[in-house]
Structure 1
């Protein structure tokens, strides 16, 4: 599979007596796009929140760039989980300026990430006036400020129209060429199939399938076999 940037081994998360993540062992190849598929409530977001340091694991191991994951590694991880946290009375540039001040990053990085996500010409327009697609791209710009090696995107195309989905897909596809590995979580099969290099399928908190995408294989049929029949493939 090549060099791994991230690996989880038997990752578990319990909320009380409920096991939400059940022995999940992900293998994420460097400079690739990994599509994490599963129905709503399958455990995708919880798994990603653990990797992103937003939740504590109950047990298991996380390895990042060959060493045991620690919170120090968050400086190399960018995250957009759920809707982006924006100051809606501020412009795109002002939103990014707040983050550069908080993170101690150079202001020059603002222009770089605005260029990457295609929001250079938004001027003084408040983010409250942005379309949903523009808000998602601003959220990704915020996640890119620290020049992450790993970018985690949880359901980034939710609610977008077809044009917004296409624009975001093109943006995400370009990241590995910039040295950014992407974990893309979604329940939309076609979206992951057109974007990802590898897929993992989570169902009932467990990783049931993990492999390179085979475009000669019917992904919908594979997904149904895994999710509806409960098979490990």
Structure 2
């Protein structure tokens, strides 16, 4: 199988507390991978190690068939926590600032605005955007450098049902464009509708990883993984 990203026995220790404990993920190329788990399970910590924000305590990350290095961040787009927006600038101006920093052509601005459906926002400042529009602009910023891998940490948090539906459709469109997505969430039903494969984390450990099958009872699987991790505490 062709994997864009794999981790082997990935660990992160914060002052004696094991936040991520021996996690081995297998992310298939051109797919949506849902990283599930309750709050505090270690999801964001894993994503921060993949994006170079945190350094692993031990273990290995392979990206596109080789050992991960900081150069690979050019191929990895990410939206972790709140979108890094200039509130007083328009969508175009936010993207323009990043294209200048990355040395990208202006044409990329129009391309990504089109992808996230913000092409008609004109001079409207980001501070006046809805939460869903801000999320989509954050994704546009992450897409500018044409990454092979897009990482989204709890992207539907706080969105209304229409915003969630719009974002779901957008995320589902990425694999066809050659972009693999890792999506973290604690909402099972949300991931079930978007992802091709899932990994379930509890207490820093990966308790389950598989392709999503229509007849699988993910809620049962999720509760068993989380329940057994509580018993093992």
The alignment's TM-score, normalised by the length of structure 1, stands at 0.98
Structure-2 residue corresponding to 1:141: 140
CA RMSD, aligned part only? 1.0
| Mapping for residues 214-225 of structure 1, pairs under 5 Å | 214-225=213-224
Identify unmatched segments of 5+ residues in structure 2.
Answer: none
Superposed displacement of residue 217, structure 1: 1.2
Structure-1 residue corresponding to 2:157: 158
What is the alpha-carbon distance in structure 2 between the residues aligned to residue 228 and residue 160 of structure 1? 28
Superposed displacement of residue 221, structure 1: 1.1
Structure-1 residue corresponding to 2:77: 78
| Mapping for residues 33-72 of structure 1, pairs under 5 Å | 33-72=32-71
Structure-2 residue corresponding to 1:113: 112
> How many pairs align?
231
Structure-2 residue corresponding to 1:184: 183
CA shift digits 1:80-121 (9 cap, x unpaired) = 001101000000000000001111111110000000000000
Aligned to 2:165, what secondary structure does the other structure show?
helix
What is the alpha-carbon distance in structure 1 between the residues aligned to residue 125 and residue 201 of structure 2? 38
Superposed displacement of residue 229, structure 1: 2.5
Aligned to 1:182, what secondary structure does the other structure show?
strand
| Mapping for residues 81-96 of structure 1, pairs under 5 Å | 81-96=80-95
What is the alpha-carbon distance in structure 2 between the residues aligned to residue 132 and residue 170 of structure 1? 17
What is the alpha-carbon distance in structure 2 between the residues aligned to residue 211 and residue 201 of structure 1? 9
